[in-house]
Amino acid sequence: MEKTVSEAIEFRRSIRKFDARKEIDTEIVKKCLKNGVLAPTSSNLQLWEFYHITNKELLTSISKICFNQPAASTAKEIVITIVRKDLWKLRANQNIDFFNSNKEVLSAKQYDQTKKYYTKAIPLVYKDFYGILSFSKFIFAYLVGIFKVMYRQLRSSDTRIVAHKSAALASQNFMISMSGFGYDTCPMEGFDSLKLKNLLRLNKKSEINMVIGCGIRSKEGVYGKRFRIPFEEVYFRK
């Protein structure tokens, strides 16, 4: 029986060692990835890809690239979240195609606004030429922003952060979904990104957002009680 959302969030821990005796269902992991892509994403561009690793030899190679940390070496499967900011134009066109085939869900005004957004606003934000355009847009936004409210995240580094945030939201959706099925995960930062890109033969413009070990927890895999900064220190009501 699947857990409620609150139960899944409470159950989720970053598991550092998985139980070698317990297998997981690959189809359930895939189902959780489908839940992952339902996460909110900036401008609905969905600038992500997910590599679901089940091949034993590949798992071993990835474990070495992750410094053989237990969360990788004991994982039954691994999911790697990839950021593809370079696909912004394709994704914008896919959104336009979707709305063109579903015009009945929008009013004429909404449709015109949506089309302008993907044909004008998105290229304005994402289009660049060796960093020159993004810097020029940043200066323009700074000057205009002196006099009025202005969107300022126009540099290439800004849009890169935006893409990674969206990918992280999808990864979190995936991990909570895994918890809902009683499965465990561990998002890992420790890995050689260049070697991993080469191993997976990723596009040169791809960026690895997260490597997530998957399995079922062992007792040693839970490092004590959960610690969180007191809520009062991080919650501000205005």
Instruction: Answer yes or no: is pLDDT of 180 > 90.
Output: yes
Q: Which residues contact 84 (CB under 8 A, 6 or more apart)?
A: 47, 48, 49, 163, 203, 205, 206
86: in domain: yes
Q: Which residue has the tokens 């700074």?
A: 142
Is residue 59 assigned to a domain? yes
CA 55 to chain centroid: 22
- Which CATH number is 46's domain given? 3.40.109.10
Mean pLDDT of the chain: 95
Q: Is residue 197 within a helix (H) or strand (E), and if so which, with residue range? A: helix 193-200
Q: What distance separates the 2 farthest-apart alpha carbons in the chain? A: 63
**pLDDT higher at 26 or 111:** 26
The residue-averaged pLDDT of 36-54 equals 98
First to last CA, the chain: 40
Confirm whether 139 is domain-assigned. Answer: no
pLDDT at 134: 86
51, with CB counted inside 10 A (0-12, 13-18, 19+), is middle
The count of structural domains within the chain is: 1
- Whether 229 is in a domain gets the answer no
Task: Report residue 42's pLDDT band, with 50, 70 and 90 as the boundaries.
Answer: very high
* In-domain check, residue 129: no
Asked whether residue 128 is domain-assigned, the answer is no
pLDDT in tens, 142-155: 898 999 998 888 88
List the domain range (segments joined by +) for residue 186: 1-122+168-221
Q: How do the residues of the chain divide into helix, strand and coil, expressed in percent and rounded to 5? A: 55, 15, 35
Rounded mean pLDDT, 7-13: 97
Number of H helices, E strands in the chain: 11, 4
Q: What is the residue type of 213?
A: G
Q: How far apart are CA 87 and CA 207, in angstroms?
A: 12
Model confidence, pTM: 0.93
pLDDT (0 to 100) of residue 104? 82
Residue 105 lies inside a defined structural domain of this protein: yes
For residue 74, being part of any structural domain is answered with: yes
Measure the CA–CA gap between 39 and 166, rounded to whole angstroms: 8
Q: Report the C-alpha gap between 95 and 89 in whole angstroms.
A: 10
Q: What is the dihedral of CA 88, 89, 94, 99, to 10 degrees?
A: 100
pLDDT of residue 45: 98
